[in-house]
C-alpha cells in the first residue's frame, strides 16, 4: 500500500506545507513535452500484448539492473538485432518478480509500485510467490477496453504528449491520430541526430533520404540546411513545438559560410575525421538555434551520454539497452559561440539537460540565470529520481530561480510509468517548497503559486503548448 504522504519531509512543519501544496497539484493534467512513447499505439489503439512486453522489455531501467546482477538479456526476452530468440513472457515476469528486491531504494521501485496499485489495484508487494497472480491479473486487464492506449491516455489525464521522431519519419501515425478524430493531443518532436551525427548508422543514406523527402539538393550545405528547414516545417504542421538534440558534448561553433560549406563537403565525402564530425555537430547546433529563432520551435539539448558502452550488448541487442553511460560535460566554453550569436534573443527558448549534476551549480544555473534564451531542463535519466530531483532544486534554484526552469519531463518509453513519474516529481517539488516555507525562505502564499507554475505553467510556456 502506498502511503499518501510518501516522499514528503518527515519533519512535521515542512510536511504539513508539502501536503497542502500537493493537494492543489495532485490532479492537474499531465503535460509531457518530451518522451519516447510510440505514436503507433495511439494511432492503432490496439491492446498491449502482455505484461512483460508492456512493463519490462521496453524499460531499460529495469533490465539494466537485472543484467547487472547476472540475469541474461536473452532470458528477459529483450529483442535481438537478428530477431532470433524469444522468451516466454510469463517466465520473464517470474524472473523479474524473483529479483524485485534489487530495486529497493530506486525510483523504478516507486514507479512500479505506483503503477501496480493505481492501474491494476495490486497492493501487495510483488514477490516470487505472487508473480503468477500478478501476471494473470495484468494480462487480463490488458485485454479490456479500459487498457487500450487511448483509454489510458485519457485516464492518465494527459493534456499533451510529445514523442521523439527522426527527421526521416513520415509521421504517418501522427497523421493518423489527427485524422482519427480522437481528441488526445499527441505531437512529434524533431530529433535530427540521424542526419547530423556522421557516426550514426546509415548516415550518408539518411542524408540522401533527407534530400528526397524535402525535395532539396543536399549536395550543398545551403540545400542541406533548407532540407532541414523543410522537415521542421513539416513537423510543425503536425503539431511539433520543439526540437531535440542528443550530442556527445555541448560543443557549438559559428563558422563562416565558406568554412561551413567546406566542412559539409568533407562530411559528405564519407571520409571525414572524428574531429571534423564533432565540429560539424557543433556547427549544426548553432544552425538549429538560428532556425528556432526563425520558426519558433523550442530547442532541447541532451549532451553527455557515451552511447553503446558495452560492445557485446550492442552487437547482439542494438541501441538503447541500458549500456549508455554519462560523462563529464562542459557547457560554459562549449556553448559560447551559439550563445554569443543567439543567447540574447528572447525569441529562442533553448533548454539544457545534463547527466553531470556537478554543472547545475557551477555552469547551468549561472548561464540560465543570465541568458534570456536559456532555460534549465529537469533532472535527466539517471537523475530523474527523488534524490536527483531534490539535488537539482537545491543546486540550481539559488542562482537560476524557479522561473528559468521548465517543469518536468518524463522522458520515458514506458507508457504506464508516466503518471507515476509525474507524481514523484510533483511530490519532490512539494517537499522542497515545504522545506523553504518551513525555514521561512518563502511565504506559503508564494509557494502555492510556484508549485502550480512548476507543474503546468512553466512547461506550457517553455514548450509553447
107 belongs to the binding site for a second copy (CB under 8 A): yes
Secondary structure (H, E, C), 69-96: CCCCCCCCCCCCCCCCCCCCHHHHHHHH
290 belongs to the binding site for a second copy (CB under 8 A): no
**Judged by CB, which is closer to a second copy: 285, or 442?**
442
Query: Interacting stretch for a second copy, rule CB under 8 A, among 186-194, 212-220, 285-293, 353-361?
Result: 353-361
- Could you say which of 343, 377, 378, 419 contacts a second copy (CB under 8 A)? 343
Site for a second copy in 291-320 (CB under 8 A): 306, 309-313
**Judged by CB, which is closer to a second copy: 40, or 452?**
452
The single residue listed with the C-alpha cell 487498457 is: 147
Q: Is 8 buried (19+), middle (13-18) or exposed (0-12) by CB count in 10 A?
A: buried
Site for a second copy in 32-91 (CB under 8 A): 64-65, 67-70
**Judged by CB, which is closer to a second copy: 161, or 406?**
406
419 belongs to the binding site for a second copy (CB under 8 A): no
In angstroms, the CA 192 to CA 243 distance is: 8
**Judged by CB, which is closer to a second copy: 182, or 403?**
403
Site for a second copy in 374-413 (CB under 8 A): 374, 382-383, 385-388, 394-395, 397-404
Query: Interacting stretch for a second copy, rule CB under 8 A, among 27-35, 174-182, 283-291, 369-377?
Result: 369-377
| Distance of closest approach, residue 391 Cβ to a second copy, in angstroms | 8
Site for a second copy in 440-459 (CB under 8 A): 440-443, 446, 449-450
**Judged by CB, which is closer to a second copy: 122, or 355?**
355
Provide the 10 A C-beta neighbour count for residue 128: 12
271 belongs to the binding site for a second copy (CB under 8 A): no
In angstroms, the CA 301 to CA 377 distance is: 9
277 belongs to the binding site for a second copy (CB under 8 A): no
- Could you say which of 19, 325, 448, 461 contacts a second copy (CB under 8 A)? 325
**Judged by CB, which is closer to a second copy: 38, or 330?**
330
- Could you say which of 101, 144, 208, 259 contacts a second copy (CB under 8 A)? 101
358 belongs to the binding site for a second copy (CB under 8 A): yes
**Judged by CB, which is closer to a second copy: 170, or 327?**
327
253 belongs to the binding site for a second copy (CB under 8 A): no
Secondary structure (H, E, C), the chain: CCCCCCCCCCCHHHHHHHHHHHHHHCCCCEEECCCCCCHHHHHHCCCCCCHHHHHHCCCHHHHHHHHHCCCCCCCCCCCCCCCCCCCCHHHHHHHHHHCHHHHCCCHHHHHHHHHHHHHHCCCCCCCCCCHHHHHHHHHHHHCCHHHCHHHHHHHCCEEEEECCECCCCCCHHHHHHHHHCCCCCEECCECHHHHCCCCCCCHHHHHHHHHHHHCCCCCCHHHHHHHHHHHHHHHHHCCCCEEEECCCCCCCCCCCHHHHHHHHHHHHCCCCCHHHHHHHHHHHHHHHHHHHHHHCCEEEECCCEECCCCHHHHHHHCCCCCCCEECCCCCCCCCHHHHHHHCCCCCCCEEECCCCCCHHHHHHHHHHCCCCCEEECCCCHHHCCHHHHHHHHHHHHHHHCCCCECCCCCCCCCHHHHHHHHHHHHHHHHHHHHHHHHCCCCCHHHHHHHHHHHHHHHHHHHCCC
**Judged by CB, which is closer to a second copy: 180, or 310?**
310
Total residues contacting a second copy by CB under 8 A comes to: 91
Half-sphere exposure of 232 (CA within 13 A, CB side): 25
- Could you say which of 436, 451, 456, 459 contacts a second copy (CB under 8 A)? 436
346 belongs to the binding site for a second copy (CB under 8 A): yes
- Could you say which of 98, 336, 413, 452 contacts a second copy (CB under 8 A)? 336
**Judged by CB, which is closer to a second copy: 47, or 248?**
248
370 belongs to the binding site for a second copy (CB under 8 A): yes
- Could you say which of 103, 190, 350, 380 contacts a second copy (CB under 8 A)? 103
**Judged by CB, which is closer to a second copy: 6, or 237?**
6
**Judged by CB, which is closer to a second copy: 7, or 31?**
7
123 belongs to the binding site for a second copy (CB under 8 A): no
Query: Interacting stretch for a second copy, rule CB under 8 A, among 6-14, 44-52, 137-145, 258-266?
Result: 6-14
Amino acid at each position: 500500500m502506498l502511503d499518501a504522504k510518501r516522499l514528503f519531509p518527515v519533519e512535521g512543519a515542512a510536511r504539513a506545507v508539502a501536503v497542502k501544496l500537493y493537494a492543489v497539484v495532485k490532479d492537474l493534467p499531465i503535460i509531457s513535452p518530451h518522451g519516447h512513447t510510440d505514436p503507433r499505439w495511439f494511432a492503432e489503439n490496439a491492446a498491449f500484448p502482455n505484461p512483460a512486453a508492456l512493463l519490462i522489455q521496453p524499460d531499460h531501467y529495469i533490465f539494466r539492473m537485472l543484467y547487472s546482477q547476472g540475469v541474461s538479456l536473452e532470458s528477459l526476452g529483450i529483442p535481438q538485432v537478428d530477431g532470433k530468440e524469444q522468451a516466454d513472457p510469463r517466465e520473464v515476469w517470474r524472473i523479474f518478480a524473483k529479483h524485485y528486491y534489487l530495486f529497493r531504494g530506486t525510483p523504478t521501485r516507486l514507479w512500479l509500485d505506483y503503477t501496480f496499485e493505481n492501474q491494476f489495484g495490486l497492493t501487495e508487494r510483488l514477490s516470487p510467490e505472487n508473480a503468477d497472480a500478478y501476471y494473470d491479473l495484468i494480462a487480463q486487464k490488458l485485454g479490456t477496453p479500459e487498457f487500450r492506449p487511448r483509454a489510458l491516455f485519457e485516464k492518465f489525464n494527459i493534456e499533451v504528449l510529445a514523442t521523439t521522431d527522426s527527421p526521416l519519419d513520415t509521421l504517418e501515425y501522427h497523421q493518423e491520430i489527427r485524422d482519427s478524430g480522437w481528441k488526445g493531443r499527441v505531437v512529434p518532436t524533431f530529433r535530427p541526430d540521424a542526419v547530423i551525427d556522421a557516426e550514426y548508422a546509415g548516415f550518408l543514406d539518411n542524408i540522401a533520404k533527407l534530400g528526397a523527402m524535402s525535395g532539396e539538393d543536399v549536395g550543398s550545405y545551403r540545400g542541406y540546411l533548407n532540407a532541414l528547414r523543410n522537415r521542421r516545417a513539416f513537423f510543425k504542421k503536425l503539431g511539433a513545438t520543439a526540437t531535440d538534440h542528443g550530442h556527445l558534448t555541448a560543443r557549438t561553433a559559428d563558422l563562416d559560410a565558406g568554412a561551413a560549406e567546406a566542412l559539409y563537403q568533407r562530411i559528405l565525402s564519407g571520409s571525414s575525421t572524428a574531429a571534423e564530425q564533432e565540429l560539424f555537430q557543433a556547427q549544426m547546433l548553432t544552425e538549429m538555434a538560428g532556425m528556432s529563432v526563425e520558426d519558433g520551435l523550442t530547442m532541447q539539448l541532451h549532451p553527455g551520454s557515451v552511447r553503446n558502452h558495452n560492445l557485446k550488448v550492442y552487437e547482439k541487442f542494438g541501441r538503447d539497452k541500458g549500456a549508455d553511460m554519462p560523462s563529464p560535460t562542459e557547457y560554459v566554453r562549449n556553448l559560447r559561440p551559439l550563445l554569443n550569436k543567439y543567447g540574447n534573443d528572447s525569441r529562442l527558448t533553448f533548454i539544457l539537460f545534463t547527466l553531470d549534476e556537478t554543472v547545475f551549480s557551477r555552469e547551468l544555473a549561472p548561464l540560465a540565470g543570465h541568458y534570456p534564451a536559456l532555460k534549465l531542463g529537469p533532472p535527466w535519466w539517471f537523475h530523474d529520481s527523488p534524490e536527483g530531483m531534490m539535488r537539482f532544486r537545491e543546486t540550481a534554484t539559488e542562482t537560476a530561480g524557479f522561473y528559468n526552469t521548465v517543469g518536468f519531463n518524463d522522458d520515458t518509453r514506458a507508457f504506464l510509468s508516466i503518471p507515476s513519474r509525474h507524481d514523484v516529481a510533483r511530490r519532490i517539488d512539494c517537499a522542497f517548497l515545504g522545506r523553504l516555507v518551513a525555514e521561512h525562505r518563502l511565504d506559503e502564499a508564494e509557494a502555492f503559486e510556484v508549485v502550480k507554475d512548476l507543474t503546468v505553467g512553466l512547461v506550457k510556456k517553455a514548450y509553447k503548448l
